[in-house]
């Protein structure tokens, strides 16, 4: 007699901060949907109360008391999104981990779609992408949507191993044995790009599914409270994330531009010196005539010599820094790969 197959366990992680207005209703909606998956998956829900200053924590505890597979983890103070996700990962027991917004701006049906994609494709990470073909956004403020799309296009330029439309999004599914190897450090929104970057280092497979980001039920509430998305901070964060992916590009590109400028100026100077050389009287020695020609051009256009020298020295320095950063990145990748393999061995031993 064959033993019944043990269904895969999904751990749904939902960070929450000051969500008392919606947490009880949204937890009920989410659990009701997850119950519909009972024929295919087992599930647990982990609510990470990230130091909320309202009644989010007590309300989450009251809800969890009615469900055996709902757990609440409390941060004594607000530690930001990255730490909330890391806490959820640390408490997850499932084969698959799905991170979902507590506001349900991504509907609960994204959970099984993401996990089904992991199972079907054997990928390590599945990303819910409203920006890929087939994805869509509803009621997202225009400026926020514009900046988010630009930030993701900017970061996509640096993701040379994967083809992603949404790199900063939080709603994803992970294989737990893979994500535990990443040794995540970020404490804020940059954790989402850190995950992609470190997954790329391990040559993890990342896939996207079309998603629907719907703010129609929450846009007024978000507009009425302090937003966690500060525009200036977001721009700086994503710029640094691009540097995190491929730091040498930030040096090579200015270095190449400086080299092109110095090459142009060198050609300009050679041409005008040659013209002046033919026009100045011949001296006792050929170098006298050349010196007179250089002196005449310098007298007429001194800024060209200074600009050429500055551009050449600056480009050389940028290219040298680019080479050093490339070398350091390769060292880091090798060390990270070795340490991740050791963590994977410990994870298998623990299981």
pLDDT single digits (tens) 226-285: 444 455 566 666 666 666 667 777 788 888 898 999 999 999 999 988 888 877 666 545
* pLDDT more than 90, % of the chain: 51
Q: Of 200, 186, 75, which Cα lies nearest the Cα of 125?
A: 200
Helix axes 191-201 and 231-245, enclosed angle (nearest 10): 10
Q: 139 with 215: CB under 8 angstroms?
A: yes
Q: What is the mean pLDDT of the chain?
A: 85
> What's the confidence (pLDDT) of residue 33?
97
Q: CA-CA distance, 237 to 310, in Å (whole number)? A: 31
What does pTM read for this prediction?
0.76
**What pLDDT shows up at residue 161?**
66
Of 164-168, 189-193, 262-266, 288-292, the one with minimum mean pLDDT is 288-292
Q: Which residue is associated with the tokens 């008392």?
A: 20
Give the integer Cα–Cα distance in Å for 245 and 207: 18
Are 174 and 86 within 8 A, CB to CB? no
Q: pLDDT per residue over 34-79, tens digit each?
A: 999 989 999 999 999 999 999 999 999 999 999 999 999 999 999 9
Alpha carbon 252 to its chain's center? 22
Residue 166 CB: number of other CB atoms within 10 A? 25
| Cβ atoms of residues 159 and 167 within 8 Å | yes
Q: Between 160 and 93, whose confidence is greater? A: 93
Tokens of 131: 């920006």
Q: What would the two tokens of residue 276 be? A: 């002046």
Q: List C-alpha distances in Å: 243 to 81, 182, 267, 316.
A: 21, 19, 33, 20
Site of tokens 């531009």: 257
Closest CA to 11 of 216, 184, 175, 233: 175
Q: Considering the domain 9-245 in this protein, what is its CATH number?
A: 3.90.550.10
pLDDT digits (tens, 9 = 90+) for 278-287: 776 665 455 6
The pair of structure tokens assigned to 128 is 């819910």
Sort strands 96-99 and 172-175 into parallel, antiparallel or unpaired: antiparallel
């Amino acid at each position: 007699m064959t033993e019944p197959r043990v269904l895969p366990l999904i751990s749904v992680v939902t960070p929450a901060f000051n969500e008392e207005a919606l947490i009880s209703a949204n937890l009920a909606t989410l659990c009701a949907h997850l119950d519909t998956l009972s024929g295919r998956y087992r599930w647990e829900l982990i609510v990470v109360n990230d130091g909320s200053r309202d009644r989010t924590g007590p309300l989450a505890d009251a809800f969890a008391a009615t469900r055996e597979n709902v757990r609440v983890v409390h941060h004594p103070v607000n530690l930001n999104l990255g730490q909330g996700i890391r806490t959820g990962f640390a408490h997850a027991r499932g084969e698959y981990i799905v991170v979902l917004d507590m506001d349900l701006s991504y509907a609960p049906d994204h959970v099984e779609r993401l996990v089904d994609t992991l199972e079907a494709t054997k990928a390590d990470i599945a990303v819910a992408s409203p920006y890929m073909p087939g994805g869509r956004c509803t009621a997202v403020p225009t400026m926020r949507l514009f900046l988010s799309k630009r930030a993701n296009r900017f970061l996509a330029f640096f993701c040379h191993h994967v083809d992603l439309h949404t790199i900063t999004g939080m709603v994803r599914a992970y294989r737990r044995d893979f994500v535990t190897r990443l040794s995540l450090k970020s404490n804020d929104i940059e954790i989402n790009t850190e995950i992609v970057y470190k997954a790329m280092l391990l040559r993890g497979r990342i896939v996207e599914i079309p998603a629907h980001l719907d703010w129609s039920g929450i846009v007024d509430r978000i507009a009425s409270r302090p937003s966690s998305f500060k525009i200036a901070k977001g721009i700086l964060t994503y710029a640094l994330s691009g540097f995190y992916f491929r730091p040498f590009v930030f040096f090579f590109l200015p270095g190449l531009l400086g080299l092109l400028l110095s090459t142009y100026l060198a050609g300009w100077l050679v041409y005008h010196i040659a013209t002046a050389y033919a026009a100045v009287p011949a001296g006792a020695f050929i170098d006298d005539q050349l010196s007179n020609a250089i002196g005449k051009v310098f007298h007429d256009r001194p800024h060209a010599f200074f600009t050429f020298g500055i551009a050449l020295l600056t480009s050389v320095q940028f290219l040298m820094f680019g080479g050093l950063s490339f070398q350091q990145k390769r060292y880091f990748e090798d060390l990270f790969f070795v340490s991740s393999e050791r963590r994977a061995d410990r994870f298998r031993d623990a299981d």
